[in-house]
Structure 1
């Protein structure tokens, strides 16, 4: 996908970060084929009718109410063990034909094009992201006016949908069609109705990390140092004594907080984020099979949406890869910095830093860890 995920959804990424985040509604137009390729009607048909998709990956809503799972699921057995929550395609399609909206939840966990888009968006924004898709029959509306507890991007991949977006100065009507994406900040009331044809749209939720959360995590050790002993008996009759003791503890806590290393706290925050993303290893089977034959001329590619952040630690370097961290000797630093700057490379491209055996060992490990994939 050419360009960044943020460019695809909102235009110039820097403009979005500096201006759009503080606005109410932002529309962006792009090549419809680029958005449709992320999730088409045929893709949804496959998921609903030709896969073993289960709840809670699917829910169904109609006229503002979420329908019970029993109305569109069935049970089965696999190797003699029960399976529950399997979507019954006949029931689901019958509900859809009757005006219900089918919601594909957590789409980033099982649909590769959306997985890649969300992975790239998370790295650009530094916030966890998620994706749902909404399949709505002609003229129907799945949910009444509501607001979300997170920012969202919305883009249409089939049909059209009329959005009612409530802003501080009134309500706007926005028609979304393939090629148009919309950004809605947290708490923006909205509702949407399909027009004359079936509608399919995707919402990308941005689960913002906040200053409060960062501060709380940064001072957690200081707070943990406050004693958990009981308040002294008799403080109801003599609250001044309790106030004096509280003042002493607050002053001690303040001193501990003043001693917090902000740089170290931010490094810890980066590490926390870049070691807790979901594993994203599409093509990993082929990579594992190709590792034994990997040689100095094998073309390798940085896997999309995977970070490579280096944190020096004494004589070692911690490499943050998104879902994990790996520990390597510090002398690999120059080679890793060179690798970080490239989208594609062969092991021989690291000849300025490593001997043939060392660069093969490094590249094979990074293929196994998922940072690199074998280009085909």
Structure 2
């Protein structure tokens, strides 16, 4: 499932141009038929949790959220599901964080949405993540609040009514005071199975169930901000390690003028493009590596030849950078660097959904290109294609 699937019939481009970071929007039935999670599967996830009371599973009721009481944990550190069921039946919303770490389908969906956004020029400052909310009948778990992230709410079971601020409010995440909430203008949405609701960051919202219990997954999307870009490069900007002249420290206007002059200096202007050019590559390298048969990646490595079909490892994107006489391909968990002669081959790998060493462009000989793809398999960017995968990509 992709971001385009979740926004049907709206295109990703139209969504980003007219809705993203601006207005709440409902996509009725966009996730219909997606077998991501049901209540039984959610309980199975809970049953596998260890030390769930340490910030993983929370209870929420009547607008108050609290950590799971220690009494819910047995002597082995596992959840006592009898206690969880009683709490749910007694009106408690169950709020599970980082569900993408427990569910391969949710992990794939989060990575897919994250990469789809990046492909459309919208990188995130944090990896996309999935939280799960199970709410009993006639209940409201959370008080009206604003989040510092955008949300895609995927409704899985039951029904839930939402009140969402018409437009994004002030950039102050947290609870919305009752008096302010009473003055806001809202849009109301009733979500059922398969519906998808987009809520922009800093857009106040609250939700409650009626006659039916509810299960939904929230994908949390943290847009990249200018201050995040600044954080990436500030340590390497020339001149910032110099001492502030004593004459300026007592005068705020003089201090501001001096900083502005420094940031506008030719040295900083010259350095910025190179510093910013590595931001995308660094963010790619920091992404969590998803499981995809990597423990056996060295098996049969020497059997890979120029005609062996290879595919990108699950959830792995990559970026190629050039630095003088070398080229580097960056991917989740690592990077492979080689002489500039390998640049064309790496660029082909970065763009192609399937790869054979025989198809790599450039001046490298057969042995050299086979060594390149073997290295990319050994380091986790590529893996051998499984039965039927090449035909599926071709379709």
Instruction: Name 1:44's counterpart in structure 2.
Output: 42
Q: CA deviation at 1:288?
A: 3.8
Task: Describe the SS at the equivalent of 2:94.
Answer: strand
* Structure 1, 152-161 or 117-126: larger mean CA deviation: 117-126
Query: 2:299 aligns to what SS in structure 1?
Result: helix
Counterpart of 1:372 (choices 360, 375, 382) is: 382
RMSD: 3.0
Counterparts in 2 of 1:70 and 1:355: CA distance versus 1, 3 Å:
same
- Farther-moved stretch of structure 1 (274-283 vs 346-355): 346-355
* Residue of structure 1 in register with 2:159 after alignment: 160
Query: Which ranges of structure 1 fall in alignment gaps of 5 or more residues?
Result: 78-83
CA distance in 2, matches of 1:261, 1:114: 40
For 2:226, the equivalent position in structure 1 comes to 211
Change (3 A) 1:348 1:282: same
In the TM superposition, what is the alpha-carbon distance from 1:245 to its structure 2 partner? 8.7
Residue 373 of structure 2 is matched in structure 1 by 363
Q: Is the 8 A contact 1:309 1:319 kept in 2?
A: yes
Aligned to 1:81: none
Partner of 2:389: none
Alignment map for 1:98-137 (pairs within 5 Å) = 98-125=90-117, 126-127=123-124, 128=126, 129-137=128-136
Deviation at 1:114, TM superposition (A): 1.5
2:62 aligned partner: 63
Work out whether residues 8 and 30 of structure 1, in 8 Å CA contact, stay in contact via their aligned partners in 2: no
Query: Once the 2 structures are TM-superposed, how far is the Cα of residue 262 of structure 1 from its aligned partner?
Result: 3.8
Of 270, 274, 283, the residue aligned with 1:264 is 274
Give the alignment partner of residue 174 of structure 1, picking from 167, 177, 189. Answer: 189
SS in 2 for 1:332: helix
Gaps of 5+ in 2: 118-122, 168-183, 387-395
CA distance 1:89–1:372, shift in 2 (3 Å): same
Q: How far apart are residue 190 of structure 1 and its match? A: 0.9
Q: TM-score, normalised by structure 1?
A: 0.84
Note closer, same or farther for the CA distance 1:337–1:272 as it changes in structure 2 (3 Å cut).
Answer: closer
How far 1:113 moved relative to its partner? 1.3
Partner SS, residue 280 of structure 1: coil
Q: Distance in 2 between matches of 1:12 and 1:181?
A: 14
Contact map agreement 1:9 1:181 (CA 8 A) in 2: yes
Residue in structure 2 matched with residue 187 of structure 1 by the alignment: 202
Query: Equivalences for 1:277-356 in 2 at 5 Å?
Result: 277-350=287-360, 354-356=364-366
In structure 2, C-alpha distance between the alignment counterparts of 1:201 and 1:116, rounded to whole Å: 17
Measured at CA, do residues 263 and 72 of structure 1 come closer, stay the same or move farther in structure 2, by a change above 3 Å? farther
1:73 equivalent to 2:72? Answer: yes
Aligned residue pairs total 359
SS of 2:165 mapped into structure 1: strand
- Partners of 2:82 and 2:93 in 1: CA distance: 15
Matched residue, 1:200: 215
Counterpart CA distance in 1 for 2:255 and 2:24 is 51
Cα 1:30–1:313 change in 2 (3 A) is farther
Structure 1: distance between partners of 2:373 and 2:48: 38
Give 3-state SS (helix, strand or coil) of 1:289's partner: coil
* 1:181 CA drift (Å): 0.8
Whole-angstrom distance in 2 between the partners of 1:166 and 1:264? 41
In terms of mean alpha carbon deviation, does 131-140 or 220-229 score higher? 220-229
C-alpha separation in 2, matches of 1:350 and 1:147: 49
Q: Secondary structure, in 3 states, of the residue corresponding to 2:203?
A: coil
Paired residue secondary structure (1:158): strand
- Whether contact under 8 Å (1:6, 1:12) holds in the other structure is no
Counterpart CA distance in 1 for 2:342 and 2:29 is: 41
Residues 343-368 of structure 1 show CA distances to partners (whole Å, capped at 9, x for unaligned) of: 12333333876444333322222223
Q: Is the 8 A contact 1:47 1:53 kept in 2?
A: no
SS in 1 for 2:193: coil
Structure 1: 4+ residue segments shifted above 6 A = 242-246
Provide the C-alpha distance between the structure 1 equivalents of 2:163 and 2:259, rounded to a whole number of angstroms.
Answer: 52
- 3-state SS of the aligned residue for 2:372? helix
Partner Cα separation in structure 1 for residue 138 and residue 144 of structure 2 = 16
